[in-house]
Each structure stands twice: as structure tokens, then as C-alpha cells.
Structure 1
Amino acid sequence: MTTSAPDTVLITTSAPRRPSHPHSGRRGRFEPYVLIAPTVLLVLGLMVIPIIIVIVYSLFDNVVTNQNPQFVGFANYVTILTDPNFWNAVSNTLIFTVASVVIHMIIGVAFALMLNSKLVHALPGRSSARSTSCRGSSRHPWSPSCGGCCLDPSGVINYVLTTLGALQEAVPWLATPATALLAVTVINIWSGYPFFMISLLAGLQGVPTDLYEAARVDGAGLIRQFFSVTLPALRPVLYSMALLDLLWTTQQFTLIWATTGGGPINHTEVVSTYTYKLAFNSYQFSLASTSAVVILVASLFVAIFYVRQQKKASQF
């Protein structure tokens, strides 16, 4: 007679659960808001509240020099929009901005293509050549002050041109009404193109080489490859860079103020220097606030267009 071993039953017991703290769930809900609170406070203190104050100032007469400012509604806007000096500043800003953006793109594409060419690829130290070119162009000496020194009557530009016989005598480029706007535009172009060159070079690195090989098989030359392959591939980068450059250049102040101060005879006056002079030269703070609001509204349209372009690009 055989006896079987009794069945064994394994009973697993889990560790007792600790009772959750009654406030742990509430703490978890509020933790994200606590983390973003410093950023929200900075944005409110440095952007939102100052913008609201400027908008309110634009609706009163002179709010700083007048102890009892009076509400004038949109009278300041009528004054600004009918001021010939304001429209002269707008005209100079448009010329300065459009010329800078277009030539930034042209020079940036040209230098990016050069650094991405087969000639640079064939160099023994091509990585060193690229990095040296990018670092050197980003540290070139064309700051506003140095640019003003180079365009001085006794500066490098006049010395070279008079030595070569292109000029009979030195020209005060920044003090001559006919050349002042051109001079500050050249300084802005030269000081800003390295950023666009580096960004476009990064965009070129992302273009598949198969597209160029297929274009060569179809008989496309270098020019055809540029317009059919390179430009379409760089279009999202070009759109983004152009819109950002448009925003940055329209708000350019340091360059103009350090070189010409808006002169001579308002020939380089832009909207930023126009607003600054209203506030701190004429002490018309309400009119300066009004001009700032007009600039803000114009910049918002460009910013909205930029955001829409970015959303379209992200969908592809």
C-alpha cells in the first residue's frame, strides 16, 4: 500500500501597504505649478506687466512729467501716425531691414555652399578648415564701434580706396547723408552673416546626396541642381532665418546709436532710435509708449506668421 505525499499549498503574502499620506495626492497635483512658478513670475515681471504699463501710458498725456496725467484715448496714436519723422524712421527701417535680410541670405548661402563644396571636402584638414572659418567669422572685428572706426575718414576703408585711386579724397561715410544709411547697413550685414552661414551649412549637411546623384543622372548641371535640389531642401531653414532676421533687424538699436545716433539729419533714424529720442531726449514718454505699441503690433504680425510657418514645417 502506497501513500502519496500530501499536496503542499504555497501561500504568498505581500508586504503590508503603507497608508498614503492624506496630502500626497494634493502635493502631486500642485508640484508642476510650483516648478514653473519662477519662470511665470519672470515672464510676468519682465514682459507682461511692462507691456501692459506701456499700453496704459500710451492712452494718457505725458505720464512722467505730468503729476496728474489726463486720459486722451487714441490722440497719441493720431499724433504718431501723422508725424513725418515717424514715417521717415519707418522708411529707413524698411530699407535697412530688407537690404540686411536679403544680403544676409545671399552671403550665408554662398559661404555655406563654399564650405560644403567638394573642394573643402578634398582638403586634408577639412574639419579644421570649417571650424576655423566658422569660429573666425563669428569673432570678426566688425562690431559697431570697430565698424565706425573702419569707415572713419582716416580709417581702413578710405585708406585702401584712396591708395587704389578709387577715391580722390577720404569720405566720411557715416557723416554724409547720401552714404550714412548704406554704411550702417553694410556694418549690420558684415556683423550678422556668420550666424546665417553656420545655420545654412547645418541645413546643407542634411540634404541627402542621393538627390544630387539622381539629378546628375537626369543631366542636371550645377545651376539646375542648386535651384531644383538645394533651394527646396533649404526652404524651411531660409524661411525661419529670414523671419527671425526680420524681427531682429527691425529692432536694431545698438548699431545705429553707436555709429550715427540716427543722424546725419535723421538719414539713419529708425523706429527704435525714434522711440528712444522721444522718451529720453524730448521726455515725451506717452508718445514714446505709443510708438513702442505700434512697433509691438507690427512685430506681432511677423511673429504670428513665423509660428504658422514653423507649424507647417513640423507637419512634414
Structure 2
Amino acid sequence: MTALRTGRVSSRFGSSRLARKATPYGFVAPTAILLIALMVVPIVLVISYSVSTGSITSKDAPFTGITNYVTLLTNPDFWNAAFNTLVFTVSSVVAHLLIGLGFSLMLNSRLLGSVPRAIFRVIYILPWLFTAAIIAVLWRLLLDPQGVVNYLLQAVHLAGSPIAWFGDPGAALFAVTVMNIWAGYPFFMISLLAGLQGVPADLYEAARVDGASGFQQFLSVTLPQLRPIIISMAMLDVLWTTQQFALIWLTTGGGPISVTEMLSTFTYKLAFTGFDFSMAATSAVIVLIFSLIVAIFYVRSQRSES
């Protein structure tokens, strides 16, 4: 009888111990299942499509190895899209940083009253509230040959005739870059403003006691304190900007004559215009590899700061 009771107690103890160990995995399980279903499985499928040819719905699609990668990497159109993406991304990220930093410094300045500060905050954050479709329609109207921008340029004699900003090969990439800069700077502004408000006032007082000017305080106090935020925001912005699709597709569609063709629009056209899903998957994998490299640096920078 005693042995039976002992066995029951040990069985209950073992089951409760097992339940305690399994509980954390039970909480994580729903998220893990979603990640596997929505991320891991699609990525594996895209990689499998990139090393095969023919219809992606066919079970007998022949294995081609790295043939698709070699074909894509020797395609001038791919490198044109990669170059445009590089110019578009670098210009956007640098401008986002400079404009966001400038506006955040202004909004954090004591020279600005509380009411004007609140008004400027609302105005400056507006581009971040608009959807891509609204931004595209707005800028198509502004940059129309008969739009406001051309009217002002002609009024001050900076342009002799209307400029087709989205239709001129010499101006289209500049136009979509400016549009993306306008749409994305509030993210930097808000993040940097939060960082500025977290800088201890004692550091500025110590710098003033040492005789540092306003610019020297900016270089020796403000920038070092904002450095982690700047690095994090820049890496995230690189990831987001290289994958920008909606603004490009809704304004130029990658044209004219491919001067605004980005890797995102190039991949989309391979899949849904040329119906070459294998090459589209190959292009997507290459973009994924680049994104993973940037993501690894981002994670490492976050760990080093923590």
C-alpha cells in the first residue's frame, strides 16, 4: 500500500514537473507556428523555385542548380536595377538622416514655444500618416507638367518649359527619390527627437563649463548620445528602402526606359509580366541574402549597445 502511494506521488510529481517544463513552449508555440507557416515555408519554396526551371506548379520541374543565378547575375537589366536601387537607397537614407536630425533639433530647441512646437510636430509628421497610394497621387499632381511645381519653377524663371518629372529619363529617378525622402523622414525625426529628449542636461552643462560652443556641444555630446539610434535607424531604413515598391510602381512603374527600375519592380515584372517565376525567385533570393547581411549587422549593433 505504501509503495502504491509512493508511486502515485512520484507520478504526479513527474507529470507536474513535465507540465512546468512544457508551459513555456506552449506559450511560444502559436508564434513559432505562425513564423514557420508565414516565413520559413515561403522562403524554402522560393529557394527551391530559384534552383529549378519551368512552371513552379509542376512537380517535375528540372533541377538547374546555380544556372539561374549565373543567368541573372550576367543580365545587364539586373545590374541596372541594382545600381538604381543603390542610388535610390543611399540618397534616401542620407537625406532622411539629415532632414530628420535637423527637424528634431529644431523641435527640441528651447527657442521654440510650446504652441509652435506642437504645430510643427503635426505638420512634419503628416507624410508618415499617408499611405503609399495617397503619397503617389499627391506627388503625381504636384509634379504634373501643369502642376504646382512646374508653375513655380516657371514663375521664378528656373524652367523655360514644363518638365515631365516622372516621364523624363533625366528627372524620373530624382523625382521618385525626392518623393521617398519626403515620405520617410518623419521616422528619423521622431526617433531622433526621442533620443534628444533623453540626453542628460548635465552633459551640456559640463560642456558649457568647459567653454564648448554650441557646435562643439553638438559634436561632443549630442552626436555620441544619438549614435546608437542613428546606426539602428540607418540600417532599418536601408532594409525598407531597398524593398520600396509601392511608390515606384504607382508613379513610374520602373520607367521611363528603366531609369527608375528597382530590384523590387524588376523582380515583380519577372514574375507577373514575363511569367518567369524561376528567375523572379532567383532575384528574390539575392535580395533576401542582402537583407540578411544588413539584418545581421543590425542585430550585432543592438547587442553591442546593450
Q: Specify if TM > 0.5.
A: yes
Q: Identify which of 193, 214, 218 aligns with 1:226.
A: 218
Q: Residue 312 of structure 1 aligns with which residue?
A: 304
Q: Is 1:116 matched up with 2:108?
A: yes
Larger mean CA deviation between 189-198 and 127-136 belongs to 127-136
Q: Is 1:132 matched up with 2:87?
A: no
Conserved 8 A contact 2:107-2:121: no
Q: Residue 96 of structure 1 aligns with which residue?
A: 88
Give the superposition deviation at 1:20. Answer: 9.0
Q: Residue 255 of structure 2 aligns with which residue?
A: 263
SS in 1 for 2:111: helix
TM-superposition CA deviations, 1:72-124 (whole Å, max 9, x none): 1110000000000000000000000000000100000000000011212xx25
Conserved 8 A contact 1:134-1:198: no
Q: Residue 239 of structure 1 aligns with which residue?
A: 231
* Number of aligned positions between the proteins: 295
Conserved 8 A contact 2:107-2:117: no
Q: Residue 169 of structure 1 aligns with which residue?
A: 161
Q: Residue 172 of structure 2 aligns with which residue?
A: 180
**Shift in CA distance, 130/180, structure 1 to aligned 2, threshold 3 Å:** closer
Q: Residue 296 of structure 1 aligns with which residue?
A: 288
SS in 1 for 2:247: helix
Structure 1, unaligned runs of 5 or more: 1-18
Q: Is 1:214 matched up with 2:200?
A: no
Identity of matched residues, %: 54
Q: For residues 220 and 55 of structure 2, what CA distance do their matches in structure 1 show?
A: 57
Conserved 8 A contact 2:127-2:182: no
Q: Identify which of 186, 203, 221 aligns with 2:195.
A: 203
> What is the correspondence of 1:30-41 to structure 2 with a 5 Å cutoff?
30-41=22-33
Give the structure-2-normalised TM-score.
0.90
Conserved 8 A contact 1:93-1:271: yes
**Shift in CA distance, 50/176, structure 1 to aligned 2, threshold 3 Å:** same
Q: Identify which of 45, 53, 57 aligns with 1:61.
A: 53
Give the superposition deviation at 1:127. Answer: 6.4
SS in 2 for 1:294: helix
Q: Is 1:248 matched up with 2:240?
A: yes
Structure 2, unaligned runs of 5 or more: 1-8
Q: Is 1:48 matched up with 2:40?
A: yes
Give the structure-1-normalised TM-score.
0.88
Over the aligned positions, Cα root-mean-square deviation in angstroms equals 2.1
TM-superposition CA deviations, 1:203-247 (whole Å, max 9, x none): 001111122122222222111111111111110110000000001
**Shift in CA distance, 170/110, structure 1 to aligned 2, threshold 3 Å:** same
Larger mean CA deviation between 28-37 and 249-258 belongs to 28-37
Q: For residues 47 and 278 of structure 1, what CA distance do their matches in structure 2 show?
A: 22
Q: Identify which of 63, 69, 83 aligns with 1:77.
A: 69
Q: For residues 114 and 18 of structure 2, what CA distance do their matches in structure 1 show?
A: 63
SS in 1 for 2:192: helix
Give the superposition deviation at 1:21. Answer: 7.9
Amino acid at match of 2:45: I
Q: For residues 69 and 127 of structure 1, what CA distance do their matches in structure 2 show?
A: 61
Conserved 8 A contact 1:57-1:63: no
Q: For residues 70 and 100 of structure 2, what CA distance do their matches in structure 1 show?
A: 41
**Shift in CA distance, 224/207, structure 1 to aligned 2, threshold 3 Å:** same
Conserved 8 A contact 2:49-2:56: no
Amino acid at match of 2:115: G
Q: Residue 277 of structure 2 aligns with which residue?
A: 285
Q: Residue 189 of structure 1 aligns with which residue?
A: 181
Q: For residues 174 and 121 of structure 2, what CA distance do their matches in structure 1 show?
A: 31
Larger mean CA deviation between 223-232 and 260-269 belongs to 223-232
